[in-house]
């Protein structure tokens, strides 16, 4: 579920499933894609900047594992993530609270990031037996740095916004009001310049690797993936076997 509000030329999009810590389900993904399509078709005089945030107590605690399957869910998630990059206007992630798994994917999909210092980010896929797509791997590495990406993706470790700010992965520390002020300033900049620079930056993230995709498909189809989801829902430690 989303809340979408307009403040002059800034669109504020709020993930609004606080009872699920804003976990990303398929319905919310579809809603977000529809908002992207509306903004993409609007003239620059209508929307000039976007802020993406989550209702307290989290930015987004991950994918809603009660409905995650390889196929339509992951296809639409990939479309959503890459859709933020193809928007002609800047998108700011305003992070307050956990941004884990799909939450971190949303964060790195945005152009700019502002967060409260203690917000925690990470991709705990290795705790669930799942594998993110190649775009996400490249994006986390390019936005957070290769070393942090290895810690997040291989070791399932997390980082605070303060730590990521020191390394440049989080651009500013602050809250939603600060994000809206920043977005209002961006809305006054030359839109065609930002659009062209975004397109150039996005082209550096595009990549595909057939061997990786085979491994990713095998992981999603494995017994370990089923065990990871089941253990998460049953609130127990998973027993992975490598099969």
77: Cβ–Cβ under 8 A, 6 or more apart, which residues?
24, 29, 63, 102, 105
- Is residue 78 within 8 A of residue 85, CB to CB? The reply is no
Say if residue 215's pLDDT is above 90: no
List, in sequence order, the alpha helices (H) in 70-133: 72-86, 102-109
Pairing between strand 10-15 and 2-7? antiparallel
Domain segments of the chain: what residues?
A: 2-175
Q: How many CA atoms lie within 13 A of 162 on its CB side?
A: 2
What is the β-pairing status of strands 172-173 and 112-115? Answer: parallel
pLDDT digits over 87-146, tens only? 999 999 999 999 999 999 999 999 999 999 999 999 999 999 999 999 999 999 999 999
Predicted pLDDT at 210: 66
Q: What is the pLDDT of residue 8?
A: 93
pTM of this structure: 0.89
The alpha-helical segments, DSSP class H, found in 42-155 are 72-86, 102-109, 134-144, 146-153
DSSP codes, 9-47:
TEEEEEE--GGGTT-B-HHHHHHHHHHHHHHHHS-TTT-
* Spatial contact of 33 and 80, defined as CB atoms under 8 Å apart: yes
| Higher pLDDT among residues 74 and 116, named by residue | 116
Would the CA dihedral through 223, 24, 182, 9 be positive or negative?
Answer: positive
The pLDDT, as a whole number, for residue 25 is 94
- What is the rounded average pLDDT of the residues 212-224? 80
pLDDT in tens, 168-205: 999 999 999 999 999 999 999 989 889 989 988 887 76
pLDDT tops 90 at residue 29 = yes
178 exposure class (CB count in 10 Å sphere: 0-12, 13-18, 19+)? middle
**Extended beta strands in 116-189, E state:** 120-122, 158-160, 172-173
2-175 topology per CATH: 2-enoyl-CoA Hydratase; Chain A, domain 1 (3.90.226)
């Amino acid at each position: 579920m989303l809340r979408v509000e307009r403040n002059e030329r800034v669109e504020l999009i709020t993930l609004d499933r606080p009872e699920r810590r804003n976990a990303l389900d398929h319905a919310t993904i579809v809603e977000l894609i529809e908002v992207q399509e509306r903004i993409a078709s609007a003239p620059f005089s209508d929307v000039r900047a976007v802020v993406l945030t989550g209702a307290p107590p989290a930015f987004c605690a991950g994918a809603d594992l009660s409905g995650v399957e390889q196929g339509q869910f992951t296809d639409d998630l990939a479309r959503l993530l890459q859709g933020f990059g193809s928007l002609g206007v800047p998108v700011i992630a305003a992070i307050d609270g956990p941004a884990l798994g799909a939450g971190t994917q949303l964060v790195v999909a945005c152009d700019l990031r502002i967060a409260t210092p203690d917000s925690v980010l990470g991709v705990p896929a290795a705790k669930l037996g799942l594998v993110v797509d190649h775009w996400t791997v490249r994006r986390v590495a390019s936005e957070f740095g290769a070393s942090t990406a290895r810690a997040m993706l291989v070791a399932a470790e997390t980082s605070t916004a303060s730590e990521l700010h020191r390394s440049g992965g989080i651009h500013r520390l602050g809250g939603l009001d600060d994000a809206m002020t920043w977005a209002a300033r961006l809305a006054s900049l030359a839109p065609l310049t930002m659009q062209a620079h975004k397109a150039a930056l996005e082209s550096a993230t595009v990549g595909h690797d057939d061997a990786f995709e085979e491994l990713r498909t095998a992981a999603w189809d494995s017994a370990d993936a089923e065990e990871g989801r089941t253990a998460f829902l049953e609130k127990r430690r998973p027993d992975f076997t490598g099969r």
